[in-house]
Structure 1
Amino acid sequence: MSRIYTIVAILFFLYLLNSCNSSKENEETISIGFSQIINNDLWRKSMDHAMEVEASLHPNVKLTIYNADRKVKQQIQDIEKMIEQNMDVIIVAPYESDSIIPVIEKANRKGIPLIIVDRKVNTLNYSAFLGADNVEVGKIAGKQIVSLSKGHATVVEIRGESITTPGLERSKGFKQILDKFPGIHKISVDADDFNSPQSKFVKILDSLPNIDYVFAFNDFIAYNAWGISKKKKPNNKIKFIGVDGLNGPNGGLELVKEGVLAGTILYPTGGAEAIKLALKIKNKEIVPKLNKLNTTLIDTLNAEIMSSQFDKISLQQSDIENQQHFIKEQLEKYSSQSNLLKALIILSLIIFLFAVHSIYSRIIISRKKKELEITNAKIISQRNEIEKFAEEIKRINEVRLNFFTGLSHEFKTPLTLIMSSTESLIENDKIKETKLIEEVKLIYKNSNRLLRLINQLLDFRKVEEQKFTLRASKIKIYDFTNDVMSNFKGEAIRRNIDFQLSCKNKNLELFIDRSLMDKVYFNLLSNAFKFTPDNGKINISIAENQDNTVNISFKDSGIGIPDKELSNVFKPFFRASNNNKNSSGIGLHLSKEFVLLHHGTIDLKSKQGTEFVITLMKGNDHLDASEIVENVENKNIAQNIITDSLELESDFKDFNLVTDSEKHSVLLIEDNNDLVFFLQAKLSNEYMMYTSDGSDAIEKALEIVPDIIICDINLVDKDGYEISKVLKKDLRTSHIPIIILTAQSNKESMLKGLQSGVDQYLTKPFSLSILKQSISSLLFNREKLRYYYTNNIYRVEPESRFGNQEQLFITKMNNIIKMNIEDPKFSVEDLADKLSVSRVQLYRKVKAIIGINISDHINNVKLEKAAELLKSNKMNISEIAYSLGFSSPNYFSTAFKNKFGISPKEFKSSL
């Protein structure tokens, strides 16, 4: 048996040695040396990096890079060193064409393959040349300039080092193209110190007033030339074209994207291609002597695409390097285990079983490696599919959110009908005396709750789109807290909940956005009352801290929140596991977002109940100027007002606009038939109602010239903003007050409405009482203006309190009357014709502004003129009567006495 073990061990040992030798042969190292002439150039560094990345893809390739730093002698020494090391392949980027020829031929004699990259040498004793066609580079630049200038331009060519072949060839190709166009004037200079006043380029800038194009032999030179030209001539329109087209900071591609360069010619480094070519030569493959790299023009049309492609390539290279690093680590681990296994086998055959296990491990590792590669490929594929799926879900989610947001706006119109109808029923004396009043109030209360839920959904959408802006003003926080608490005191009394507020400094002022903080308070208190049992406690405390902050604490004795779920409370749509109440799950999320807008924090504690603590900073140093507004507590801001109390006070409650002889006319522009029916029913007793669905709104307004207009925003033909703007600009309707009704309650919509000239902005659902009061107030203000206007009708100044349209109208009308004051045939029809309005429109316009008909107004102007003539004492009474178009002196005397209370003769005597 021992013999068998010995034979098996020897055979296995021989097999292992053989496999190791074959493995060494298979993994024979290929040494590649690269002589780089420049080490501080971005393009050269990119070439080095490309070589290193490509070499890393081949584990058996050992790449060594030598940098000569523009020193030809150093480069020759580096090549000599590579020849002595007997490298498999030598790659050389020469600095000069002739100096290194002897050492190149020496490598050729020793049978070492040698590849020349980028710049050519004056010998053919090398294996292959790799580089771009520099003549073609020059031609591309020339063609681009010809194309842009249409054959007429002044062009400056800034050459690089003239001793290099790329510079000579680029200049040659550039010249070949431009020589075909006599209209193009070319000046060539060598690149030198741009910052020197004696620089050749600076001298050209000073001597030539109009330079159209500059072609520099690389992007670095082009960028420096651009900088100097901007200093010398800031307003010049010179277009710069460079060469290299590298991606990344200060690369030509980035300069094109930034508009510094008009274009750059992609000049590939060829680093990766050089390594591939070296491996082909090493593997005895047939390769061509001349290997050209493709070049192309990069301009503003394709810069973004090229940049995106380069970024993807860079990302792929980074992934490859990471994977290579991982594989290298795995191979090192495997090599370590393999060496250990060999050592153990050589030392003793006793550990034969361990050797078998190691071989098995090797097989497993190889298999796992393949499985990992397959799995990695699957994961990448799945990740791409997941990303596509996520984008599609995001798009669908956006569509859904837009749909629900729009739907939420639409809910506000039927809510208006429900709440306004319910409000009318609550105010009805007959309903108040029945048991139905409690049910009606319940309908109103839940309608109000539905409105808050809709507003929460719209607020959530605004938060997601980051459309909220802070409008903070100085507020007494104790008074503000007390105001919000008053909405919950009825509930606290009904459920016997101890509801208290504690604050040592009742005059403490903080900068807060009243509307946003009101929503935060409401959400926190709603949750507290929802989860606090009857006979429980809810306490709000306001305390100042030593670090110039204030804590506002909301503490209840409710069911609390499980500890493991505390971190999720402020996430949207979260519901605690012990929460069996109906909840949208977005209230606390909105509260946190609104507190963050105030640059504050909100924290949560849950022991024997729940406590939310809001921390805000004192003063306004932490706020931007745009986030601070004047104190808005007492300002009359048009907004949607839905309150629990329906008892509305009015400064104008004794002002009766409805008379027995005439009602004020109201034009209602609304396309919702239910709302039209409702408002007609509620307003027709006090006003003469006219309606339009929006399609003929402007025509109807011009036809009837109503006393007031109520207009919706979302209409079929034109929206309410357009209608308001047209009517406010039209001389015939500019005086009519306009009330906007809309479901859009954001600041942008309100600003747009006010900019359109509307007088009042009410958001749906609105209170019918507030709508009625708004109509009464606007008509009352119009009546006060009319009274003032009537008493100052002949002294209208440009700075008067009337709108620009009314000023223009009255001034123009009075001028026309005064110009025709002596014409007895001048009629109202003549005046309307000169004002480009109909007789009816003129009558209604004048009646609306000054409260009298147009005939009386014309007579009043004539009589005022008569009084002035009597004061001048230049004409007798009869002459004045006839000069002002009165048919007889007797009729003139009667009219004069009716206006001034005395006859013309008595008036003249009194003077």
Structure 2
Amino acid sequence: MYQFVKYILLLFLASLILTSCRQKQGDKIKVGFSQAMTTDDWRKQMNSAIKIEASLRPEVDLKISDANNNIAKQIEDIERFISNKVDVIIVSPIQSKPLTAVVEKSIKAGIPVLVVDRKIEGENYTAYLGADNIEIGRIAARYIISHSKGSGKIIEITGAKGSSPAYERSLGFSQIISENKRFKIENTIQGDWEGESVKTPLKTILLQNPNVEYIFSQNDRMALSAWETAKTLGVENKIKFIGVDGLNTVNGGIELVKNGVLDGTILYPTGGNEALKLALKMYNKEPIPKNNILNTIVIDQNNAEIIENQMDKVDQQQAVIESQQGAIKVQEREYASQNNLVRLLSFFLVIILSLTIYSIYSTISISRKKKQLERINQTVIDQNNEIQEMAQIAQRSNEAKLNFFTGLSHEFKTPITLIMSYVESLIENEKIKGTALIDEVKLIHKNSNRLLRLINQLLDFRKIEEQKFTLRASNTKIYDFTNEVMTNFKGEAARRNIDFQLICKNKNLELCIDRGLMDKVYFNLLSNAFKFTPDNGKISISILENQDNTVRISFKDSGIGIPENELSNVFNPFFRASNNNKNSSGIGLHLSKEFVLLHQGTIELKSKQGTEFVITLLKGNSHLQPSEIVNNAENLNMTPNLISDNLDIETDVNQGIAISESEKHTLLVIEDNIDLVTFLKAKLSGEYVVYTSDGSDAIEKTMEIIPDIIICDINLVDKDGYEITKELKKDLRSSHIPIIILTAQSNKESVLKGLQSGVDQYLTKPFSLSILQQSVSSLLFNREKLRYYYTNNIYRVEPESKFGNQEQSFITKMNDIIKMNVENPKFSVEDLADKVGVSRVQLYRKVKAIIGINISDHINNVKLEKAAELLKSNNMNISEIAYSLGFSSPNYFSTAFKNKFGISPKEYKSSN
């Protein structure tokens, strides 16, 4: 029953669609019209005439393409008509020769071509329609000869070069003139059908030859321009002007004749309606002449008004026709809408009947199966509940195991990092260098690094599973990055006589990568290569730029390779190849692939005579999210200088980037344990200028040096770390300095007390040196962000803002004092320091630390802001403003103002 109803519906719907398609499509005659341009009224009238004629013939589908006087576009338009297989093509050529080939192509494709107005070279077209341009030239010449009463000197203004009407009109005109010896064409001006091309050359000719009697222009626009040029010389009444076109428009030929501007114009009919009639005859294969000539007449004062009235009546009739056609189209749309409505109602009626029948059948069928479905449904619900309960139990169990596993891995990191810190100190100890003990210490360091890397891999795997990785990419010279990582493996390569090479043509090539994550990818791939490559083998890294804006990084070795049937499983977690008899966690390659995918790259594996891993990365950073991109300064050198897994490589632990003393931040360590102070100073002196205090003079030393950051213990000689922190945070001179508490007290109450005293970071002993270094770096970075905030909001700090209360109060108070004294020329930095309650040196350091500029520049900026307000009010001149604000001279004021605002005070005042 259901199938029967479905078939009825489908049959009815198909018939409805087919009927609708037949009504919509029908058999249309497709006519393509390639118009040269529509920059003048004559072309617009041609388009209007052909559209009206097409509207009277519903069987015609007319498409008009405007070439905009561009030959290449006109050829392209005709090519499109040919490819769309129109029935007839009408062409109004821009120039004769360039369009000959494409017209011949249309004829060969079996599409007849009607050429209108202008001809092409040769006779390879179906028919031509237009006025006889040679005869138009002759008519103009005869008119001049019959009406001439003067010198007989004539100037001819032709159309564009290469245009057939221009050539033919000039030919006919010269034929008649040459037959009469009294008349002579004194000069010929090469125009381009537009008026502007006439003025300059005509003015020169008229100045040299004022006795010209007639000017014949090959269209009315150029004739009007010739008259305007003669008028500028005062000779417009001595010369008679003849034009061609005879349009009944504003500034058309008929109006110009009636107004006495032109002596006469030759009617050049557009032939729009005749063109479409001829096109339909060509489509129906009716016999038509090759050349179809439109009639023309001379329009002068005798008949201009009569012809204008006739043309007005034609225009009125055309307007009536267009109105009637619009009404017919409205009725057709209403009919089509009503017809569709009837069909739609019929369709719905069939659907309703079908659904009624189907509902009766369904009711009977459903009543039988209802009880059976209820039983099945209850069984499914019970089974689903059991599955969900089991899944929740399994998920809780799995989550508990993973949390224990992750927590235990984190517990391993702290003692290992502490071991490594002290082992590094032992390696640097001069007393054990050169002794047998140094090898044992390096072995401890190597295995500590190995264990730390394995633990980091396990934690990375957990983070990948939870999708907690965030890319921190920056522009990196990939050659230098690769070479730096390779340095850690060169000792092993030399020991085992392995040919270890880097191939790269462009050493300055930059990629946007997360150095920390990409370092892990490199280490995993190179560790595997060295692990499975025999002695005297070969390992190479090649970097190649591709033409598709990508870079290909290849890691190739001459090792044992991977069985072909196992290649697809290599990147799966915990996979181990059948020919791998070495210890392996099985997650290194899985992590490498995930890290490459985070960069929107790909990694592939090839294994023939060894193994080759190919990483493909995109150039630039447009493929990354803005949150994934950091500045080079923010992206710390994440490439760890660690010894690779299972390798006997010696490295210099303390390789760092040399920083000049003037560029270093200042750091004050307040600690009474001399050994710890010595250790911290040794470790941090490379990046910071380190000062120390045992706590007895902590406050005084802080006020003396105003450091960029402080590391402070709690248990000290005189005052504990909490008291020192409270005093420093309350003092205006030091409130901006970030403080890190470094203590063995790790209970909740101690941490809470430290945070309440105003510390910025609380770290417990035994501490990780890398965490301490990163904490210092992060706090300084946040201080830079605070400075950026004040620098960009320095003149609009609001009291209700919650961002940096101490610094905000200081800045607000300082700005208020400066603004109150901005017009006091004797107000100095010493006066300001005295009013805010600090010394001149402390004021300088405080302002420099918060907003990054010296106090003198800041005062000048406030004065310049006040100057801008005074310039806007327009009550004082520039010199008065300069002296009122304490500037030594107006010139110095103008220079300072332009440096700040980019324009001079005079320009600023004018613009406001």
Could you tell me the TM-score, scaled by structure 2's length?
A: 0.37
